[in-house]
Structure formats: structure tokens, C-alpha cells
Structure 1
Amino acid sequence: MKVTTALFFGFITTPILAYPGMGSAMAEIQTRHDFALGRRSTELLGDLINADQGSLTPSGTTIKSILEGGSAIADSSTYTPPGELASDTCKKSVLCVWYYIIQDLSGSFTESDGCTDLARGAIRQGFHDAATWDKNSAYGGADGSLLLNDDELARSENKGLETISAQTKTWYNKYKGYGITMADLIQTAAMTATVCCPGGPRIKSFIGRKDDSRAGPTDKLPLPQQDAQYLIDLFAAKTFTSNDLVALIGAHTVSTQKFVDTSRSGASQDTTPSVWDTKFYSETIAGDNKTILIFHSDKSISTYSSTKDQFNTFAGSNGKSLWSPAYAQAYFRMSFLGVNNLNNLTEITQVLPLPK
């Protein structure tokens, strides 16, 4: 690796190779190179921080590997339930129960031209439950508190989640007799919604999180009026790098807003809000704030010194192939913030829908 890196930088500084546009091309190559070398977070979380290798379960081993830089994109394995949901055989199988739950969710997240408003809401809801945690928090994170505590849900930063929160509570009441937690339902809904959007990645998924009805800590969520450096610092405290941040905000590709600019309620953040693509990046850079509504935070990140190259890379011709695995790994990490029993979780990836 050291030899390759030295040759790479030698190549960049060779004057003979200069040509018009070389600067931007080299910036994109450099960004891809740095991203491949691990400018994503590799910090461990929860009980995996101090776990001995010999004590790791298969789930703990998989989660640890992904947190340390492995791929979070799932293969195409599928699952056939052994019986109907109400059958004794199904009730005894975690996979079977979640298969039927996810079938229910995915039916609400998909329509003929892509993913639905409920899908968009479920993705945002997953972020808002998990991101109340950082390394200074004694509690909070992906613990279901967003929907278990009315005071947290009523916070101004959670405006717009009313419809998906009500639907998620309905699903929870329908399935809680099967031993599920709200924390797992929120994150599984976010993962399901992502893959239900055409082009969305199928992210490896686990259940077994514990619920906490205490309202999550305040001032931990990003806001659309914040500047890039503030957001970089906010996410660093949650164990994310600036490259992770750039990957995560790409979820705005399926975002529509109601309250950032109330005069343009329903405006989307790219021109294809039912499809999981990288137009968010290219159209934010283009800056046509009449066709779409560009958040100040997104524009700031797109132009900031330490994030603009990665932003431009995702906006490039091969951006989708780079963004999908980057987003998958970053959101995989997001879904475990504040979770302290990672070694005891159960993988349910194979019951997720296949990518569209």
C-alpha cells in the first residue's frame, strides 16, 4: 500500500501529464483513493469497544467487521417462511416474524413510480431516533425513544414526522405481541424503506435493540441552517468522519420538505424524490434553487474545503457506484448509535426486500 501511495502522488506531481481540466480530474481521483483507503470511520461502538475476539458471537463478529470498514451491503439471499404469521412454527422463528412485518412495511413504501411519502418519512425517522446520541451521551440513540416519548417527538426538529410516526405506532401495536421493540421497528423500517426506493442499497440488518422511553438528549440532531464545520463536528462526536457525513446527507435524494420553507411546502431536494440516485449531489452543486429547494447545510457541505471533493465525486459519472456502499456503511453505523448489546443481536438481512 505504501508503494502504491507513493507512486500515486508521484504521478500527480509530474508536470508532463498536465492538461486542461487535469486539476478537477485529479481531485476526483484523489478523493476516490482517499475514500478507498479508509476515510470512513472505523470506530467501534457499544459493547464491541472492549470485547475480546474470543467472546464475539457471529453477529458481533459481522457488526465489528463492518464498523471497522467492511461492506454493509447485503447479498441477494432470500427467505421462505415456514408458515403463516399466526402459526406456532412462525411464532418460534425470529426471521419468520420479521418477514411478515417487513412485507407489511414494504407494501406501504412502494408505488408504481418509486418509493412513497411513508418511505421517505421512515428513512428520516430512523435518523432522528438514532442521532440523539454522541460519545458524551449517557443514553439516547437507536432506542425507540422518538416514538415512546411524546415530548421528544414534539420537538421542533421532528416536525414533519407526524404521519410516519403514527403509522409506525400502528405497526408496533399490531406486532408487539411477537416480542419486537420499537427501536428495532424504527431502524428496520428505515432499512426497508431505503431498499424499496429504486436504486437503494440492501443494508445488512439486525434486531435485538432495547427500548428506552426517556426522551433522547437535546441539541444532537443536525439542522438545515447549520454550516459545514458545525455539522462535521456534530457528526464526529457520533463517530462519523466528514466523508461519512457527505454520504449520509445523500439520503436527501428522496427528501421533500414542509417546514424549512413553508412557502414551498412539498418541494424536494432533487428532481427525482421517488428514486434513490445521486442527482441530489449534482443538482445541489448546480444550485438551481427554483427547481428544487436546497438546504443551506447541504450547499455549505458541497462547497466546504474538507467535504467538497467527496461531494463532487458522488456527483460524478461513477458517483452511484461509490455512494451506495458508502451510504450503506455509514447508515449501518447510524442504526447502532447508543446500542450497547451489539454482540447479542440477531441478523435478519435475508428477510429484507431485494433491491429494485
Structure 2
Amino acid sequence: MVFSSALSAFVLALPLLAVNAARTKRSLCPDGKNTAVNKACCALFPVVDDIVDNLFTNECGDSAHGALRLVFHDAIGISPTAGGGGADGSIATFNATELTFPANLGIDDILDDLGPFLLKHAATVSPGDFIQLAGAVSLVQCPGAPRIPFFSGRAQPKAASPPNLVPQPTDDVTSILERFASVGFSPAEVVAVVGGSHSVAGADDIVPNFQGIPFDQTPSQFDTQIFVDVLLHGTNFTDNGGPQSGESETAVAGTVRLQSDGLLARDPRTACTWQSFVNEQSKMAEAFGAAVLKLSFLGQNQHELTDCSEVIPQAIPVNFGPATFPPTKSIKDIDESCNTAKFPDLRTQPGPATTIAPIPQAESTSGSSS
């Protein structure tokens, strides 16, 4: 891995960005174009511009998907019994340890992409802040995604996360819900954060020799299609020859269904919440945004952080239609798992069944940020 121990030694020695949460009047930033309630936030505008243009390249692509995944894998590394720092950036600083955890398979790719940017801006943002900032900025590259708040001021991480704190796609629903419950998340919040993040995501390394296999038909749109596709009967499978560990057969060729997603969509404790998001774009975006913000405060004291949400670019409005059944599919192909509500009426896409293309993989961006 390109991005490794060099970061660990460097970032641990850097001071935090000073903040002053008491300021209320907007101030003109040194760049002469931006204003901020707190002058400390001014330093973040160039960081945001850099990662938008040179890391995400203004696209809801592989790097944006990876940055969102990193938010979760870093933040969930905390437990009331095992310890850990939560959303503190330990997954970057102590990557030599945390990347050995099975649940972090594939995280090295996004760390390689983010690493040069984190190093470049390390005097401005701590690792924990950078991961949360990049995650918030990644979302607004995707049409339909919410613009979530960003708070600055996380301390440097002190140690690696304990192992076995990140849920895996092979886990059963009880294990997943208990892991989330230990850090204060309800089953409904679990569905929101898992389903929402997988709306703009794909599988790397789960399927051997295949990268960027989408979880639904629309991986570049933050939409509710994921909540339909995961409930379809498993009649087709990806072109790799069938399901692997943590993966189940899907009804949409070219996509892959995580076993954990399929179970959450059908379990009595979560099925009705899962179905309730179908074609409820605003509800899904709001619930997801609240859950991600809650993740960002794990291990942190919100009152000691500074609200720098104004540095996050505006979200891209919804520019797509409602969720649909894929060609040849209908309500007869849905595993109706909620006993208290009727599944929404959806139209079926015209034409023969097609294969969803893999998500294009990001090229190395280290040269653009060094």
C-alpha cells in the first residue's frame, strides 16, 4: 500500500487547528471570496476545493463512494467495553493495524486516494476531521444526497481501534443490531445508514477479481432504488459465476447483494423500515443524514467542536425519477417482508433485461495533490 506508516509518524506530531466557538458574526476569509461565522473555518475552503476538483473530480464516482465508506469504518471503531476512539481518524493514522481487520478489506484503496490530500492539508485538519470532511463533501457529489453538517476540532487519534468492531456482510441481523445498539443506534437508524450508504456504493474485493460491482442499478445516484433491488428474488447473479462469501444472488445482472443487506431487508425487526424508504426520497435522505451526523460524533464531544458546515458545497437536487422494477420484473418478484404495509406501486422499466456496468475505478490522484 502506498499510503502507510509515513502518515502515522507525521500526523501524530501536528497541532490542532485552533477554534473559537463563541464567534457569531460572519467574517470575510483571507481568500476575499468566502465568509464564515468562525474564522477558523476559513482554512477549510481550500481543502474542500482541492478534494472536490482533484480527488472526487466533481463526480459521484469510486473515490466519493470510498470516502463515504471510510466515514463509517473509522467512526464505528468504538465500544463501551472494548474502547476505541470512534470518529478520530485512527483508521488512517494507525492503518498498519486497522487494515489487518477482515472487515476493512478494500479500505486501503480509498486510503491510498485520500492519503496524499490528508498529508497535504495535515496542518489544517486532523485525520478525524479530514475523514468526516471528505465524507460530507463526497455526498454532495451525488444527486439526491443530503448536505450533512460538518464539525471541526477532533483531536489527533491516540491508538488504533480494537478489532472486531466493524460489522461484516456475513454477520447475522442480531449481531449487526447489537453492535450498533452498543453505540446508541436503533434498528431504524441502522437501516437508514446501511441502505443509504449502499445506494451509492459497490463491492470491492468481496467478489474475487472484480472491483466496483454496484449494489443497485443506480450507484451514482443517492436514491431509493437499493430498497427495491435488495428485495427482489435472487434469480440472477453477477458475471463472476455466482455468490461468494458475504454475497447472495441478485435479480439484477451486474450487481451484487450483500448478505447482510438481504437479511436486514427481510428481518421482522427491520423489514418495515427498509420497505418504508421505497420512493420516499426526502425521508430516506433525512434519516441517512441524521445517522451519519450521529456517527461523526462517536467518541467526540460535540460541544467541544466547531460547526463549519458552511464549507460544505450545496447538494445536487434530485434529477431522477422514482424507483422502478428492472425490466421483466414486477411485484411478483419482490419478497414482501413487511406485514403491516403494502409494498408501493412501481412501474417496470421497458425493454429486455440488461447488465449493470461496474463503477469505473479511480486513477491515482497522488500527483495532483502533492
TM-score (norm 1): 0.71
Structure 1 residue 320: deviation in Å?
1.0
DSSP 3-state at the match of 1:196: coil
Compare 209-218 and 124-133 and name the one that shifted more: 209-218
Cα RMSD (Å) of the superposition? Answer: 2.5
Counterpart for residue 334 of structure 1: 295
What does 1:52-71 align with in structure 2 at a 5 Å threshold? none
Q: Which residue identity does 1:298 align to in structure 2?
A: D
For residues 271 and 81 of structure 1, what CA distance do their matches in structure 2 show? 42
AA at the equivalent of 2:265: S
Match of 2:149 in 1: 204
Unaligned runs of 5+ in 1: 1-56, 60-77
Partner residue in 2 for 1:3 = none
Q: Aligned partners of 2:22, 2:144: CA distance in 1, in Å?
A: 29
User: How many Å apart are 1:263 and its aligned residue?
Assistant: 5.3
Counterpart mapping for 1:127-206 below 5 A: 127-149=72-94, 150-178=96-124, 180-206=125-151
Cα pair 2:74 2:88 within 8 Å, conserved:
yes
Structure number with the bigger relative contact order (C-alpha 8 A, sep ≥ 6) is 1
| CA 1:246–1:143: 2 relative to 1, 3 Å | same
Counterpart in the other structure of 2:361: none
Q: Specify the alignment match of 1:266 in structure 2.
A: 212
| CA distance in structure 1 between the partners assigned to 2:233 and 2:69 by the alignment | 23
The 5 Å alignment of 1:273-288 reads: 273-288=219-234
> Which of 46, 71, 74 matches 1:126?
71
Q: Which residue of 1 aligns with 2:31?
A: 83
Shift of 1:217: 1.1
Change (3 A) 1:185 1:111: closer
> In the alignment, residue 146 of structure 1 is paired with which amino acid?
I
Matched, 1:305 2:250: no
**Structure 1 counterpart of 2:46, from 89, 92, 100:** 100
Q: Which residue of 2 aligns with 1:254?
A: 200
CA 1:262–1:79 in structure 2 vs 1: closer, same or farther (change >3 Å)? farther
Of 311, 323, 326, 2:284 maps to 323
Aligned to 2:311: 351
Structure 2 Cα separation of the partners of residues 116 and 81 of structure 1: 31
More helix, by proportion: 1
Cα deviation, residue 175, structure 1: 1.3
Contact 2:224 2:277 in 1 (8 A): yes
TM-score of the superposition, structure 2-length normalised? 0.69
- How many angstroms does 1:110 deviate by? 4.6
User: Residues 19-58 of structure 1: matches in 2 within 5 Å?
Assistant: none
Structure 2, gaps ≥5 residues long: 1-20, 235-249, 317-370
Cα displacement (A) at 1:187: 0.8
Determine if contact 2:216/2:229 at 8 Å carries over to the other structure: yes
What residue is the counterpart of 2:347 in the other structure? none
Q: 1:116 maps to which residue?
A: 61
Aligned residues of 1:119 and 1:190 also touching (Cα < 8 A): yes
Corresponding residue pairs, total: 273
